[in-house]
Amino acid sequence: MKRVITISREFGSGGREFGRQLAEQLNIAYYDQEIIEEISKRTKLAEQYVEQIIEQKSVIPFPIHVGCRLHPYSFSNPILEQKQTIMMQQNQIICEMAEKSDCVIVGRCGDYILQHFHPYRIFIYAELEHRIKRCMERCTDHDRCSFSEMEKKILSVDKNRKKYYEFYTGKTWGNPLNYDLCINTTNVDLAEIISVFYKLFC
């Protein structure tokens, strides 16, 4: 049986880091930026543009759960059409990657897109204050900001992720019933808990 693990995460909770370390520990593939690179290759659109489209999320014109019934007017708008293409490519690439080998996939509604693989679905979250501190520690001189600016940024990213997830899947982002395991990373040493949790997949 394939081990397909999907990670959903609140911004700043260390979900990406958790996914990367978990994949490393299990010695399986970790897909994140690779998905953007592959979409970029297939669509011949710049990686940065693809990333921007995926990050904006709220303007995508049809949810996964209504399948491919596109509104005819959508084709009258080339940007909308491009967005649809990018999102459809993303779904396809994620499925191909999971088909190819055991893997960890972070974000991108992976838990929903890959449901026929019966993935193990993890949600990583933490108290807001912890997430703000964590993000601020990681700031470079280039993107340094105040505590309240960081708080605003985190809440905004989370709001987008929530909208994106709910629009695409019709389910509530962060509702424990959508996941097999929800891990609070407040004041937690990620490496330490991964050294326990990875055994769930051995």
79 is a site residue for a second copy (CB under 8 A): no
199 is a site residue for a second copy (CB under 8 A): yes
Q: Which is nearer to a second copy, 49 or 120 (CB)?
A: 120
Q: Which is nearer to a second copy, 84 or 185 (CB)?
A: 185
177 is a site residue for a second copy (CB under 8 A): yes
Amino acid at 74: S
Long-range contacts of 97-103 (CB under 8 A, 24+ apart): 97/29, 97/31, 97/34, 97/35, 98/2, 98/4, 100/29, 101/2, 101/28, 101/29, 102/2, 102/3, 102/4, 102/26, 102/28, 102/29, 103/3, 103/4, 103/5, 103/23, 103/28, 103/29, 103/30, 103/31
Burial of 11 (0-12, 13-18, 19+ CB in 10 A): buried
Q: Which is nearer to a second copy, 11 or 179 (CB)?
A: 179
Q: Site for a second copy (CB under 8 A): which residue of 48, 56, 156, 184?
A: 184
Of the candidates 47, 53, 37, 41, the residue with the CA atom closest to the CA atom of residue 86: 53
- Of 67-75, 99-107, 143-151, 194-202, the segment contacting a second copy by CB under 8 A is 194-202
Q: Which is nearer to a second copy, 89 or 185 (CB)?
A: 185
Amino acid at 172: T
182 is a site residue for a second copy (CB under 8 A): yes
- Of 79-87, 109-117, 134-142, 190-198, the segment contacting a second copy by CB under 8 A is 190-198
Q: Which is nearer to a second copy, 164 or 179 (CB)?
A: 179
Within 157-176, the residues that bind a second copy by CB under 8 A are 174, 176
Within 117-136, the residues that bind a second copy by CB under 8 A are 123, 125, 127
